[in-house]
Amino acid sequence: MGQRVKTIAVSGYYGFRNSGDEAVLHAIVTALRHEAREAGVEARIVVLSGAPEETSRLHGVEAVHRMRPFALLGALRRADALISGGGSLLQDVTSAKSMLYYLGVLRLARWLRVPTYIYAQGVGPIRDRGRFGPMVRAAFDACRYISVRDEESKELVASFGVAPARIDVVPDPVMGMGLALERRPASPGEEPRIGLSLRYWRDDRRELAAVAEGLAAVLRARPDVRVALLPFHLPSDKQASEETAAKLAALGVPRDRLELHPGTEHPSDMLREVAACDALIGMRLHSLIYAATAGVPPIAVSYDPKIDQFMKRLGERPVGDTETLDPAALADAVLRTLEQGKTAWNEEKRDAIETMQQDSRKPAQQIFSEMRI
């Protein structure tokens, strides 16, 4: 007899050239396949994607277009389970359409009697609680297993009436990517490298100007430092990086001190870029998660509570936010981090990071356990 096969559909923000979300998918697929091997079955993974061919090529999975009803319906009909997550899917800040789409997929799965699972989601912010609260409760109450990535998400979901005892708080799946990372020791005399992950947020770009001013002060104090601008979401982050590089040049930073990275397709490639840094200044949540799991001190510029929540798990706080970032405070944080060194930072944070890496696999373990394989 052949090996048993379990078909698992995965719903999330995939196929949109966002390295962080692709890293979430990579981590989920890796964890599911690992647990499937442990259970002696084959995991057949079908991803609901905005770019199915690209998703299949990058992750070695089947994929269907998430906005084509017949393809979506067909994928769910064949599925033994639907995973919703990870990432910040259930929020109405960017658009109420996001909430309606992901809740709609969960509801369709319920109609088809497909077991549903919430996988390490960051829930919120939700502004229209009167409208969406009951919908979230109905979706979550029907799920076989629920996990969220921070206490604040758990509190929000519980406030809608979901039993707190049913909600696991687990690390972001991307923390698990560091388990397979081959660490490269620093070479003697190697120049310090600061990673920089930026995004557009304010219309006046004041946050980018503040980052540039702070980094210029760092480079005046430490002319041996190089800055690697690492765009996580293409093409917008690449444009933000180019704009910031121009600001740095205008502030007198030599061009040979700047590396403008074109971005990467596969999350593992970007993880290696981050791992080669001595510190990382990040606005993107997953740039900070990449840094932590790779043993690189993250310095956060917050635009969203999810940034604060992740840094809290590390026992850290953001250096500032997009509204009030002080260039002098940023420069001071970077210089102190470089002086401490990432080896010392790793020693301090090792236990917390290793626990988060191991716990990031818990949702996959629980899903296969609940499926009674």
Q: What percent of the chain has pLDDT over 90?
A: 86
- Residue written as tokens 């500032």? 320
111 and 249 part of one domain: no
32 and 117 part of one domain: yes
pTM (2 d.p.): 0.88
Q: Which tokens go with 290?
A: 């990449």
Query: Per residue in 123-144, is it b (16+ CB within 10 Å) or e — as a string?
Result: bbbbeeeeebbebbbbbbeebe
6-20, 116-130, 170-184, 209-223: least confidently modelled range: 170-184
Last residue of a domain, one of 170, 196, 227: 170
Pair 240, 198: CB distance under 8 Å? yes
16 and 159 part of one domain: yes
DSSP assignment, residue 16? S
Asked whether residue 176 is assigned to any structural domain, the reply reads no
Asked whether residue 371 is assigned to any structural domain, the reply reads no
Q: What is the dihedral of CA 230, 235, 241, 246, to 10 degrees?
A: 150
Can you tell me the distance from the alpha carbon of 163 to that of 146, in angstroms, rounded to the nearest whole number? 10
61 and 210 part of one domain: no
CA 214 centroid distance within chain: 25
13 and 148 part of one domain: yes
198 and 341 part of one domain: yes
209 and 90 part of one domain: no
Instruction: Assign 263 a pLDDT band (cuts: 50, 70, 90).
Output: confident
Asked whether residue 55 is assigned to any structural domain, the reply reads yes
Instruction: Assign 1 a pLDDT band (cuts: 50, 70, 90).
Output: very low
Phi, psi of 219 (to 5 degrees): -75, -25
165 and 281 part of one domain: no
Instruction: Assign 181 a pLDDT band (cuts: 50, 70, 90).
Output: low
Asked whether residue 177 is assigned to any structural domain, the reply reads no
Asked whether residue 142 is assigned to any structural domain, the reply reads yes
- Residue written as tokens 């696999």? 361
Q: How many other C-beta atoms are found inside a 10 Å radius of the C-beta of residue 111?
A: 9
pLDDT over 80 (residue 295): yes
Can you tell me the distance from the alpha carbon of 319 to that of 305, in angstroms, rounded to the nearest whole number? 14
Kindly report the average pLDDT of the chain as a whole number: 93
Asked whether residue 175 is assigned to any structural domain, the reply reads no
- Range of the structural domain that residue 16 is part of: 5-170
Q: How many other C-beta atoms are found inside a 10 Å radius of the C-beta of residue 151?
A: 13
Asked whether residue 330 is assigned to any structural domain, the reply reads yes
CA distances from 32 to 124, 319, 322 (A): 25, 35, 36
Last residue of a domain, one of 149, 170, 191: 170
350 and 267 part of one domain: yes
The pLDDT of residue 19 is 86
50 and 115 part of one domain: yes
Q: What percent of the chain has pLDDT over 70?
A: 96
Can you tell me the distance from the alpha carbon of 59 to that of 134, in angstroms, rounded to the nearest whole number? 35
How many domains does the chain divide into? 2
pLDDT over 70 (residue 182): no
Phi, psi of 286 (to 5 degrees): -75, -20
260 and 302 part of one domain: yes
Asked whether residue 20 is assigned to any structural domain, the reply reads yes
| CATH, residue 142 | 3.40.50.2000
288 and 326 part of one domain: yes
Last residue of a domain, one of 115, 137, 170: 170
DSSP states along 24-90: HHHHHHHHHHHHHHHHT-EEEEEEEESSHHHHHHHHSSEEEETT-HHHHHHHHHH-SEEEEEEES-S
129 CB contacts (<8 Å, ≥6 apart)?
160
Can you tell me the distance from the alpha carbon of 87 to that of 122, in angstroms, rounded to the nearest whole number? 6
Can you tell me the distance from the alpha carbon of 42 to that of 34, in angstroms, rounded to the nearest whole number? 10
Can you tell me the distance from the alpha carbon of 313 to that of 293, in angstroms, rounded to the nearest whole number? 13
